[in-house]
A and B are shown apart, each in its own frame.
Chain A
Amino acid sequence: MGELAGSQATAAAPKTQAEPFVPLWGIALDAAVLAALIVTIARNSVYGLDFFHVFAGALWISIDLLMGFIIGPTIRRLDVPARMVFSKGLMTKMMVVVPTAVICTLTSGWQLARADGLFTTPYPPQHGWVVAALIVVALLAIIAYVYLEPANIVVLTELRKPEPNGPLIGRMMQRFLYAAGILGVLQLSMIVIMVRLATW
């Protein structure tokens, strides 16, 4: 199955491309968003921090859920040439949006937690929910940095070669989709924790 996918991928892959992984407009957009986040933190604006945390967090969680439970299973049912074309466009956009959404969510969330006094709450039971949130974030970081993103970059790199290694692309895409599914489940647990903390 993997080898079949591989040979289809090799046949379908566009020939060597020189354009960058991340488009320049994406880098400029990310830089502007990060500059706005730095100003918001420096001004200690609770409204701004809330905005960044809710907006970026919703974006991050939605992307993970969409990838894990809707786009992932759909891609698996596509034939490999279509999968390659779809993945290349998707992954490029994801590299613009996701890293910045993650930075904004975590940084503004940390500042909000301090501002709301969540780190000084009594240990049982409320502080336990804060610790649970930190544990889920740690698991998200490990899975994203160790499994998901390296697989993403291997696929993008292979697709830019004149003769991509099909079986490798098939293996890495499977890894990417499984990791996205696990992240989706973790994100669901994060929603439960965040709603609990917000309504305490």
Chain B
Amino acid sequence: MVTTPPPYAGDTTRSPIVACIVGTIISCILAAGIIIVYIPAEAPMWGPIMWVCIAAVLTAATIVLILRKKSFARQRFFTVAQWVFLYILVLSGMAEYVMVFDGMRGKTLVVMTIILLLFLVNIPMLWGFSVARHERTS
């Protein structure tokens, strides 16, 4: 027998939060891509900095959108996000270790570190939100 579940109070349609996070991830990958393609030479930094700024603005927008969301399963969001944060922390830590070990310094290292920090914030938010948006909150 087919049963229809109760309607969700949370967001189950296309969400601007997901759009912002996907935009951030793509911006970060473009910023890192420009730096990586120039290695071992120093990349012109205006491109990566522009993409990082866009990613930072989108991240701020994501945080505001999540904070302003009503009927949202915040506890579920944080439960998932904290474990994903731990995983991405290990991943970012390895990347940072390799960059420093390989002698990356100066502006390039700063921009790459900011990119990793943006990943560290956004991936847990995306996975946490993906789960929490489907929670049936009362």
Is B91 engaged at the interface, CB distance under 8 Å to the other chain?
A: yes
Is A41 engaged at the interface, CB distance under 8 Å to the other chain?
A: yes
Residues A4 and B2 in contact in the complex (CB < 8 Å), given A34-B94, A41-B101, A150-B130: yes
Instruction: Report the minimum CB–CB distance from A116 to chain B (whole Å).
Output: 13
Residues A41 and B98 in contact in the complex (CB < 8 Å), given A3-B2, A4-B2: yes
Is A198 engaged at the interface, CB distance under 8 Å to the other chain?
A: no
Whole-angstrom CA separation of A145 from B122 in the bound complex: 10
Whole-angstrom CA separation of A150 from B132 in the bound complex: 11
Q: Which residue on chain A has the smallest CB distance to residue B99?
A: A110
Q: Are B102 and A114 in contact (CB-based, < 8 A)?
A: yes
A134 touches which of B4, B33, B40 (Cβ 8 Å): B33
Residues of A within 8 A of B95 (CB): 107
Q: Which residue on chain A has the smallest CB distance to residue B95?
A: A107
Q: Are B94 and A157 in contact (CB-based, < 8 A)?
A: no
Is B120 engaged at the interface, CB distance under 8 Å to the other chain?
A: no
Residues A166 and B80 in contact in the complex (CB < 8 Å), given A103-B94, A153-B131: no
Is B90 engaged at the interface, CB distance under 8 Å to the other chain?
A: yes
Interface of A is mostly: helix
Q: Are A110 and B126 in contact (CB-based, < 8 A)?
A: no
Is B5 engaged at the interface, CB distance under 8 Å to the other chain?
A: yes
Q: Residues of A within 8 Å of B, CB-based: how many?
A: 39
Residues of A within 8 A of B58 (CB): none
Q: Are A107 and B98 in contact (CB-based, < 8 A)?
A: yes
Whole-angstrom CA separation of A165 from B37 in the bound complex: 45
Is B63 engaged at the interface, CB distance under 8 Å to the other chain?
A: no
Q: Are A154 and B25 in contact (CB-based, < 8 A)?
A: no
Q: Are B29 and A103 in contact (CB-based, < 8 A)?
A: no
Residues of A within 8 A of B131 (CB): 150, 153-154, 157
Residues of A within 8 A of B83 (CB): 21
Q: Are B97 and A153 in contact (CB-based, < 8 A)?
A: no
Residues of A within 8 A of B21 (CB): 146
Residues of A within 8 A of B3 (CB): 6-7, 10, 166
Q: Are A42 and B2 in contact (CB-based, < 8 A)?
A: no
What are 6 contact pairs spanning A and B, CB under 8 A? A3-B2, A6-B3, A34-B90, A134-B37, A145-B126, A157-B76
A-side residues, CB < 8 A to B, are 3-4, 6-7, 10, 21, 34, 37-38, 41-42, 99, 103, 107, 110-111, 114, 119-120, 131, 134-135, 138, 141-142, 145-146, 149-151, 153-154, 157-158, 163, 165-168
Known contacts A10-B3, A141-B25, A142-B29; 7 further A-B pairs (Cβ under 8 A): A7-B1, A34-B90, A41-B97, A111-B102, A142-B25, A145-B25, A168-B134
